[in-house]
């Protein structure tokens, strides 16, 4: 007679503060995208460096992956690792694509005339491809922004997250700290080279399948993800009081600093973003991982923020598309548009929570029991 036993890899304790910081960054991303509607160029945005949240997410992901799996490779195969990562990430990828499809035809107009020319079967095909995380070539664009996931723009960063997980499982998990450190220095140099001597002075981009955008995407991915792994392996955590508050304020300062320099001094902003990604973000993660939460309310807040962080990031952009089209096509003034934008942020949080509780958590639990529990 056989009976099922729990999966042989038990879930480790979470870094509560890091969970909370991921939620803080995710909500700032939503606010950034709302305000971006009223921004001019990359030189004039309201939360000017809000896009750096993606680079912070990559660093957090590398840290958490190393913490969760570095000491478990003697107990699991590569396929076990891939299954765990797919179960964690893929259900909400599918939901994000579905929500993007539901809202798609509300966004047609002067800003995106291509939408009204797109047949339903074509949109549904794009949705199904979105379920797989396979990137779409520019020739299959149905919006006009040349995104690899035109129904759910932020999914581009999940594509690179998957690439990073594969690189980790195939190669980088085998490296010593010294060898990994050499690669991290090389990746940092690549990042600085692009930011300081590159064409834009910032890391904005990565969402299209062409040489320029793929270069940006990999440049953004490689340093923070593998620096996160190295930071976890080094174990050099920093212990301070009120770590969650300190780290949240540091994040807010990094994101809210206005653009430095102008189109004639791109290198100045490039230096700022290099400093933020290479030094400040690892410092924040080291502070967050080394801190402790004692108050009951703070624990609940960090858990809530951590729980909704991924769902809100991967589902909110359908609302942003619709909001952006409305503001652009109807010439909505900022004072009124911001009121609706505030409601959008609240709606994004609500949608994320509903998706988490009634879809993501039940589906992941079913998949865990179906594919991760061993028979004894």
Note down the domain range covering 364.
4-375
37: Cα within 13 Å, side-chain hemisphere: 30
Q: Please give the tally of structural domains in the chain.
A: 1
Count of other CB atoms within 10 angstroms of residue 24:
23
Per-residue pLDDT, 209? 97
Q: Who's near 24: CB < 8 A, 6+ residues apart?
A: 248, 251, 252, 305
Compute CA 237 distance to the chain's CA centroid, rounded to the nearest angstrom.
23
Give Cα separations from 147 to 78, 138, 190, 299 (angstroms). 30, 7, 24, 37
Compute CA 195 distance to the chain's CA centroid, rounded to the nearest angstrom.
20
- Measured CA to CA, the distance from residue 208 to residue 222 in angstroms comes to 17
Per-residue pLDDT, 12? 67
Q: Who's near 357: CB < 8 A, 6+ residues apart?
A: none
Residue with tokens 């973000």: 281
Residue 51, phi then psi, degrees to nearest 5: -65, -15
Count of other CB atoms within 10 angstroms of residue 287:
21
Per-residue pLDDT, 1? 38
Give the residue ranges of DSSP H helices in the chain: 16-36, 53-69, 78-103, 113-116, 120-132, 155-170, 177-197, 211-234, 243-256, 266-275, 281-290, 296-315, 317-330, 334-355, 361-371
| DSSP secondary structure, 182-248, as one string | HHHHHHHHHHHHHHHHSSSSS-----SSSHHHHHHHHHHHHHHHHHHHHHHHHT-----TTHHHHHH
Sort 238 into a burial class: Cβ within 10 Å, 0-12 / 13-18 / 19+.
middle
Give Cα separations from 268 to 45, 128, 185, 199, 202 (angstroms). 17, 42, 21, 13, 10
Per-residue pLDDT, 192? 98
Nearest to 337 by CA among 1, 14, 37, 8: 37
Nearest to 138 by CA among 220, 212, 194: 212
- Measured CA to CA, the distance from residue 21 to residue 62 in angstroms comes to 15
Compute CA 46 distance to the chain's CA centroid, rounded to the nearest angstrom.
20
Per-residue pLDDT, 44? 84
59-75 burial: b if 16+ Cβ within 10 Å, else e: bbbbbbbbbbbeeeeee
Residue pair 22/60 in contact by the 8 Å Cβ criterion: yes
Report residue 316 as tokens. 């909110």
Per-residue pLDDT, 39? 85
Q: What is the dihedral of CA 308, 153, 359, 50, to 10 degrees?
A: 0
Per-residue pLDDT, 77? 94
pLDDT in tens, the chain (376 residues): 344 434 446 666 789 999 999 999 999 999 999 999 998 788 888 889 999 999 999 999 999 999 999 999 999 999 999 999 999 999 999 999 999 999 999 999 999 999 999 999 999 999 999 999 999 999 999 999 999 999 999 999 999 999 999 999 999 999 999 999 999 999 999 999 999 999 999 999 999 999 999 999 999 999 999 999 999 999 989 999 999 999 999 999 999 999 999 999 999 999 999 999 999 999 999 999 999 988 888 899 999 999 999 999 999 999 999 999 999 999 999 999 999 999 999 999 999 999 999 999 999 999 999 999 865 3
């Amino acid at each position: 007679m056989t009976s099922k036993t729990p999966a042989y890899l038990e879930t480790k304790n979470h870094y509560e503060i890091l969970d909370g910081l991921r939620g803080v960054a995710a909500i700032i991303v939503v606010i950034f995208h709302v305000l971006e509607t009223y921004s001019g160029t990359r030189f004039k945005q309201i939360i000017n460096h809000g896009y750096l949240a993606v680079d912070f997410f990559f660093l957090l992901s590398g840290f958490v992956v190393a913490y969760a799996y570095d000491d478990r490779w003697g107990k699991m195969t590569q396929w076990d690792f891939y299954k765990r990562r797919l179960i964690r990430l893929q259900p909400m990828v599918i939901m994000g694509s579905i929500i993007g499809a539901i809202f798609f035809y509300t966004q047609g107009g002067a800003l995106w005339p291509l939408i009204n020319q797109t047949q339903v079967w074509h949109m549904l095909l794009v949705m199904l491809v979105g379920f797989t995380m396979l990137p779409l070539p520019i020739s299959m664009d149905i919006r006009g922004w040349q995104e690899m996931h035109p129904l759910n723009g932020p999914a581009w960063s999940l594509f690179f997250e998957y690439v990073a997980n594969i690189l980790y499982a195939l190669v980088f998990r085998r490296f010593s700290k010294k060898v990994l450190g050499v690669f991290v220095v090389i990746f940092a140099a690549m990042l600085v080279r692009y930011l300081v001597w590159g064409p834009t002075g910032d890391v904005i981009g990565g969402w299209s399948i062409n040489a320029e955008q793929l270069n940006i995407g990999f440049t953004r991915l490689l340093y923070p993800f593998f620096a996160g792994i190295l930071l976890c392996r080094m174990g050099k955590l920093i212990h301070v009081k009120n770590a969650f508050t300190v780290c949240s304020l540091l994040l807010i300062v990094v994101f809210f600093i206005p653009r430095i320099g102008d189109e004639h001094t791109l290198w100045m902003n490039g230096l700022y973003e290099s400093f933020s990604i290479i030094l400040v973000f690892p410092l924040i993660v080291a502070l967050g991982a080394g801190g402790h939460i004692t108050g009951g309310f703070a624990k609940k807040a960090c858990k809530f923020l951590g729980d909704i962080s991924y769902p809100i990031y991967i589902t909110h952009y359908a609302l942003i598309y619709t909001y952006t089209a409305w503001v652009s096509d109807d010439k909505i003034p900022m004072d009124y548009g911001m009121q609706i934008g505030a409601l959008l942020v609240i709606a994004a949080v609500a949608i994320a929570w509903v998706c988490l509780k009634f879809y993501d958590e039940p589906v992941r639990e079913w998949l865990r029991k179906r594919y991760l529990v061993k028979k004894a």
